[in-house]
Structure 1
Amino acid sequence: MTSAPPVSAAYDDLAKRGVLTPDPAQRQAAQHLDAVLQALAAEQPKGLFSKFFDKPEPVRGLYLHGEVGRGKTMLMDLFFAAVPIRGKRRVHFHEFMDEMHAGMAAFRQSDKGRDSDPVEAVVKPIIRSGLRLLCLDEFHVHDITNAMLLYRLFDKLFAQGVTLVATSNVVPDELYKDGLNRQLFLPFIELLKQHCVVASLAAERDYRRMKFAGQQVYAFGTGPEVRAEMDRLWLRITGGEQGMPGTVTSIGREIAVPQMAMGAARFGFADLCEKPLGSRDFVRIAHQFDSVVIDDVPQMDRTRSDAAKRFILLIDNLYDRGVKLGASFAVPLEQLGKDDRTAFEFQRTISRLDEMRSEDYLGKGLRDAPAAS
């Protein structure tokens, strides 16, 4: 009896352990991802001289689209973990495009930037890094600067043998819909469909919404009972997975994540607000996880001014992105901010915290908040 290919096997294992409810549409998507994985794994290194003369042919990738909460990110997690090649990268679409724009701007300001192609300049280091697989989460085009860049950028990446796997909430033909000068963007849609299989994830349920249905996401007080309440919420969010330590890469450094599983992360307040983290770090966290649990949020008086400022930034970024928040607080929300130096900003934070536990907020999908520049 032959074993299931890696993504399907990992999916079946999660279903068997009760972490997720089996869904035929999700399993079909896993099979599409397995096809890409197996094609990448089957590529054999070519001869010493062929790399200088042969034009590389990329493995055809996958563009997986579907409504929010259908499991696209979870499947991308399984796929990326299983791909057996070193030259792979996964990044949120807007973060990747911000990097490209920043690289082109820096090149234009350099001496070489006067007569050379800035797109070529940002593609070259990507290719030199050995990248073969680029995974982009939440492919969504609403910015004309991205729309006008995408064809030139991906035409060069595909020509150099890079395979694209992307998730999106919209079909390719609706990308940049009603955008300014959209006719100039249409060639990119054709290029995308040429180099990627387009597949729909038509799962019937919004699994992300189901995780939070009827849940009290905040606990108040301290001690083992409160911790146990947060443990129960964490296991509800992750489908029973305890999770493992991990990291978030931000500005060239690693932010430790004590527990992460199934698109969720769990931190202590001190992990986020008593360390030298800033808004760009919190944006990275908000783009990497759809749910965040924070333990042991204390009352913030004048002795915790810096921590209070970071907490304000953290909640702003989670809220703007629509990330689902579970948290334990030492005191009721209205008593959290006791520092007159942050009192005004804290009022907005309390208002947002109150909204973030509402059924309306918990029932909505992630928002297309911009990435950090």
Structure 2
Amino acid sequence: MSPTSLRPVTAAYAALVERGALTADPAQRDAAGLLDDVLAGLEADQPKGLFGKLFAKPEPVRGLYLYGEVGRGKTMLMDLFFAAAPFPQKRRVHFHEFMDEIHAGMAAFRKSAKGKDADPVEAVVKPIVRSGLRLLCLDEFHVHDITNAMLLYRLFEKLFAHGVTLVATSNVLPDDLYKDGLNRQLFLPFIELLKQQTTVASLPAAQDYRRMKFAGQHVYAFGTGPDVRAEMDRLWLRITGGEPGAPGVVESIGRKIDVPLVAMGAARFNFRDLCEKPLGSRDFVRIAHHFDSVIIDDVPQMDRTKSDAAKRFILLIDNLYDRGVKLGASFAAPLEQLGLDDKTAFEFQRTVSRLVEMQSEEYLAKGLRDAAHEVQE
């Protein structure tokens, strides 16, 4: 059957297999079919005409909670699904980023004049509902602290009541969320709500495809010129399955970070795109949450004239390392000679140590870490 005769997500998946970017996996194909079911429900529920849009009562469409081990293709399938959703009232965000936004909104409301007696949860849900959001896609659903655990039922009860459909990926079953957490019995109603509003499906894919991309690869190149660039080009095509990539965007605190190339969960930047622009820790956290692999071209030696860029590079590597993101990079000089600025010498020693570890087989074989934490500005 040709990809053009299939439903949208399944067709996009089949096209990647046909191009050789993916190896066909029955479990991934089945998951693509489940995502197509959600899409079909959303399309059937689309309000028709002006009066339909004005007076339509929100009807929740059953979503999907897709869980499985790291590297099995959950993020890739979410990419295909989100791209296939043919309406603008959709949002995709990492779970922890979404919850940070909710907490920040509640805190701001409590400080306002209206926040003395009103419900802060209702206050943060209202603008979401007013935006017309129909589809919320959350990557890496994982509840690890009591503040989120105690909030989730009230938050999602309101979102579901307003017709928001949830599609989420996770490494764990719903029944294992917040396992052994403090006052977990108060969290159990949310698990039941989640199971009522989504189809829970596992992704038992045969292999860790993310690990296979980097098996036996040299991820760093040293020097400058066309040979080094060609080496990075080969690594890029290896980790993207031959997909050349296209420009993308990462949203961060109300602004957009341009990404020169995005493909198959990977991003490619030049050093100046990340370290010679006014980016900070929160921006680098966003990038680390959006991509499992990052390539950085043309990392220079950093002397006193590049002091600000050196500080950003240190922050960038810290965030990629903490998250377990796989790094490929070309460097103008050997790692131990990168930092020439006395002001950042001590911090650079730690960065070099981390760069050495990040090229090791042990680091490349590990999955992403749950490095959720709130970045203080």
TM-score by length of 2: 0.97
Over 3 Å counting, the alpha-carbon distance change for 1:249 and 1:8 in structure 2 is same
Q: Which residue of 1 aligns with 2:177?
A: 175
Assess if the C-alpha contact under 8 Å between 1:55 and 1:159 holds in 2.
no
What secondary structure is seen at the aligned counterpart in 1 of 2:327?
strand
Q: Structure 2 counterpart of 1:267, which letter?
A: F
Query: Within the alignment, does 1:122 sit opposite 2:160 as a pair?
Result: no
Q: Which residue of 2 aligns with 1:292?
A: 294
- Counterpart of 1:341 (choices 343, 349, 363) is 343
Query: Within the alignment, does 1:357 sit opposite 2:355 as a pair?
Result: no
Over 3 Å counting, the alpha-carbon distance change for 1:241 and 1:49 in structure 2 is closer
Assess if the C-alpha contact under 8 Å between 2:310 and 2:344 holds in 1.
yes
What secondary structure is seen at the aligned counterpart in 2 of 1:38?
helix
Q: State the aligned residue count.
A: 373
What secondary structure is seen at the aligned counterpart in 1 of 2:295?
strand
Q: Which residue of 2 aligns with 1:79?
A: 81
Assess if the C-alpha contact under 8 Å between 1:283 and 1:371 holds in 2.
no
Assess if the C-alpha contact under 8 Å between 2:265 and 2:292 holds in 1.
yes
Q: Structure 2 counterpart of 1:65, which letter?
A: Y
- Counterpart of 1:256 (choices 233, 236, 258) is 258
CA distance in 2, matches of 1:164, 1:29: 15
CA distance in 2, matches of 1:13, 1:162: 30
Q: Which residue of 2 aligns with 1:132?
A: 134
RMSD over aligned Cα atoms: 1.4
Assess if the C-alpha contact under 8 Å between 2:249 and 2:259 holds in 1.
yes
CA distance in 2, matches of 1:216, 1:100: 41
Q: Give the CA deviation at 1:56.
A: 2.1
Please, which moves more after superposition, 303-312 or 49-58?
49-58
Q: Which residue of 1 aligns with 2:277?
A: 275
- Counterpart of 1:58 (choices 60, 65, 81) is 60
CA distance in 2, matches of 1:86, 1:245: 19
Q: Which residue of 2 aligns with 1:16?
A: 18
* Identical-residue share of aligned pairs (%): 82
CA distance in 2, matches of 1:356, 1:268: 19
Q: Give the CA deviation at 1:370.
A: 1.5
Q: Which residue of 1 aligns with 2:92?
A: 90
Assess if the C-alpha contact under 8 Å between 2:213 and 2:238 holds in 1.
yes
Q: Which residue of 1 aligns with 2:44?
A: 42
Could you tell me which runs of 5 or more consecutive residues in structure 1 were left unpaired when the two chains were aligned.
none
Q: Structure 2 counterpart of 1:329, which letter?
A: F
Please, which moves more after superposition, 278-287 or 1-10?
1-10
Q: Which residue of 2 aligns with 1:185?
A: 187
Q: Which residue of 2 aligns with 1:146?
A: 148
CA distance in 1, matches of 2:126, 2:104: 15
Over 3 Å counting, the alpha-carbon distance change for 1:19 and 1:49 in structure 2 is closer
Q: Structure 2 counterpart of 1:252, which letter?
A: G
CA distance in 1, matches of 2:298, 2:268: 11
Q: Which residue of 1 aligns with 2:108?
A: 106
TM-score by length of 1: 0.98
CA distance in 1, matches of 2:114, 2:7: 47
Assess if the C-alpha contact under 8 Å between 2:75 and 2:139 holds in 1.
yes
TM-superposition CA deviations, 1:266-320 (whole Å, max 9, x none): 0000111111111111111001000000000011111111110000000000001
TM-superposition CA deviations, 1:33-92 (whole Å, max 9, x none): 000011111113168677787652210000000000000000000000000111000000
CA distance in 2, matches of 1:252, 1:48: 31
Q: Structure 1 counterpart of 2:150, which letter?
A: M
Q: Structure 2 counterpart of 1:315, which letter?
A: I
Could you tell me which runs of 5 or more consecutive residues in structure 2 were left unpaired when the two chains were aligned.
none
